[in-house]
């Protein structure tokens, strides 16, 4: 089995497993930020996914993201009837996959910066589209979170929020932009120190 044929070698599987475990631990360390309701928590698990994507490719990034979410479900369960975990996977991939694809084609610091910028914008855009059309309706219908309570949490921060669209723009978009910038900064700091271990 070799990565050249599109399959994962035993060595790569071990690296994916290691980075997934790191991402899972980082996912447990979460905190709210002032621009979003407290049920939106920021964590740095995507830094491990991004590092894996840069070192091992976009397919590996998807595997790390998925494994992280599965580990979180196994060890901590779900309070959102799997909606939150599904959202974490999709929006995490929106950041890490474009950045990994760009870096794979040109492995330079400048390309990494451009990739993370593109990934951050993609994550913010995916957050708007997915929350408006899929995730918020799913929270209401599956997780049984009343839309009035969700909007009320946003109105406590931004009184001008009156509907789902203004909630997504005012709360979800800045949250994902801030997360993308912070995760990118951590990845930029750590990658050169970690990458020699991942290329052995």
**What is the rounded CA–CA span in Å between residue 177 and residue 200?**
33
Q: Could you say which DSSP state residue 152 is in?
A: H
Residue 35 main-chain phi, psi, to 5 deg: -85, 0
Give the domain CATH number at 44: 1.10.1760.20
Domain holding 51, by residue range, is 3-29+38-198
Residue 13 has pLDDT above 70, yes or no: yes
Distance, CA of 188 to chain centre: 16
In the chain, which ranges are continuous DSSP H helix?
Answer: 10-28, 45-56, 58-76, 83-105, 109-130, 136-141, 147-155, 164-167, 173-198
- Which of 116, 71, 62 shows the shortest CA–CA distance to 89? 62
Q: Into how many domains does the chain fold?
A: 1
Instruction: Determine the 3-state secondary structure of 31 from DSSP.
Output: strand
Mean pLDDT of the region 102-125: 96
Question: What's this model's pTM, rounded to 2 decimal places?
Answer: 0.91
CB 48 within 8 A of CB 64: yes
Percent of the chain with pLDDT over 70: 96
- pLDDT tens figures, 125-182: 999 999 999 999 999 999 888 999 999 999 999 999 999 999 999 999 999 999 999 9
3-state secondary structure of 32: strand
pLDDT of residue 9: 86
User: Which uninterrupted H or E stretch holds 42?
Assistant: strand 41-42
């Amino acid at each position: 089995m070799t990565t050249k044929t599109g399959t994962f070698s035993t060595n790569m599987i071990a690296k994916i497993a290691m980075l997934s475990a790191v991402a899972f631990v980082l996912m447990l360390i979460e905190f709210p930020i002032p621009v979003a309701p407290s049920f939106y928590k920021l964590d740095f698990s995507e830094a491990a996914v991004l590092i894996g994507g840069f070192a091992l490719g976009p397919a590996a990034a998807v595997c790390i993201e998925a494994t992280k979410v599965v580990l979180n479900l196994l060890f901590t369960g779900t309070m959102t009837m799997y909606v939150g975990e599904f959202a974490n996977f999709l929006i995490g991939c929106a950041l890490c996959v474009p950045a990994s694809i760009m870096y794979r084609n040109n492995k330079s610091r400048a390309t990494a910066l451009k990739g993370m910028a593109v990934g951050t914008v993609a994550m913010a855009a995916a957050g708007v589209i997915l929350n408006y059309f899929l995730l918020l309706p799913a929270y209401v219908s599956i997780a049984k979170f009343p839309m009035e309570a969700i909007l009320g949490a946003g109105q406590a921060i931004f009184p001008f929020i009156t509907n789902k669209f203004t909630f997504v723009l005012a709360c979800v978009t800045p949250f994902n932009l801030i997360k993308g910038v912070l995760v990118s900064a951590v990845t930029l700091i750590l990658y050169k120190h970690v990458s020699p271990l991942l290329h052995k």
